[in-house]
Amino acid sequence: MSAGSRRRVAFFTIGQSPRSDVVPEMAPLLGAGVRIDEFGALDGLDAAALATLAPRAGEYRFATRMRDGTQIELDAAAAEARLAQVMGEADAAGYDVLVPLCTGTAIAPMRTLVVEPQQVVDHLVAGLAAHCRKVGLVVPLEAQVDAFHMVVPLSCETQVVHASPYEADAGQAARNFERAGRELASCDLIVMHCMGYAERMRRAVAQASGRPVLLSNRMVAQTLAQILE
């Protein structure tokens, strides 16, 4: 990245772009001098193609967002393969950094620098957990709770609860985050472990729990800002 040139970052969602719920949360931390382009693993796919990515019984699944704001669930392995294809197509386009907007996907090696949210978030949390008795984690789906794992094991007790960032009913969403916060009130630290969680959701969990709460997309954006500075 040469001095004075405008930095270019590509964001990739496993859903459809643009991610009007996530990128506006991150962009102010990056500064006006950064050009952001967005790509979606589900962009341009018809109903038949989407059906091939549907969750399989007993397999891990992801929750993501369609362009109109609705939630869709995807088979994890199928979504990762599609995401790798879309990122690979952008790999030679001259971006300074590629950033998948998911904290749970395995990312294929690229020639361009990749800031992988799961690696950033999980290693930071593992470092903080060394001085915690208990860490709370919030994930989108109930089906993810029992199967959830981090890329590095935590040295303390963990408690995982669910609350979707894509709940269409605002009242229900507020109740879900309040419940999640109450359930995690005994934790030393809480992590919103999905890039789709917004600041208002973080505040709701923090208020209900009375505990410090970390937002994944903010951790990633603050790291990215320093790389692009």
Convert the pLDDT of each residue in 211-225 to its tens digit.
999 999 999 999 999
Closest CA to 114 of 123, 125, 126, 106: 106
Residue % of the chain over a pLDDT of 70: 98
Please compute the mean of the pLDDT values over residues 92-120 and round it to a whole number: 93
In which residue are the tokens 């109740």 written? 175
pLDDT for position 163? 97
- The amino acid occupying position 19 is R
Interval 192-204: pLDDT, tens? 999 999 999 999 9
Peptide bond into 18 cis (omega under 30): yes
pLDDT of residue 1: 44
Q: What is the pLDDT of residues 44-97, one digit of tens each?
A: 999 999 999 999 998 999 999 999 999 999 999 999 999 999 999 999 999 999
**Confidence class for position 34, pLDDT limits 50, 70, 90:** very high
Mean pLDDT, range 17-32, rounded to an integer: 94
**116 has pLDDT over 50:** yes
Strand partners, 202: none
The CA R_g of the chain, rounded to the nearest whole Å, is 17
Contact 90, 114 (CB under 8 A): no
Question: Do residues 216 and 192 make contact, with C-beta atoms less than 8 angstroms apart?
Answer: yes
Distance of CA 138 to the CA centre of its chain: 11
176-185 pLDDT, tens digit per residue, is 999 999 999 9
d(CA 18, CA 11): 9
Provide the pLDDT for residue 5.
73
Contact 222, 31 (CB under 8 A): no
pLDDT at 3: 46
Task: Answer whether residue 2 shows pLDDT above 50.
Answer: no
Q: Name residue 179's amino acid.
A: R
CB 154 within 8 A of CB 137: no
Q: 58-92 burial string, b = 16+ CB within 10 Å, else e?
A: eebbbbbbeeeeebbbbbbebbbebbbebbeebbe
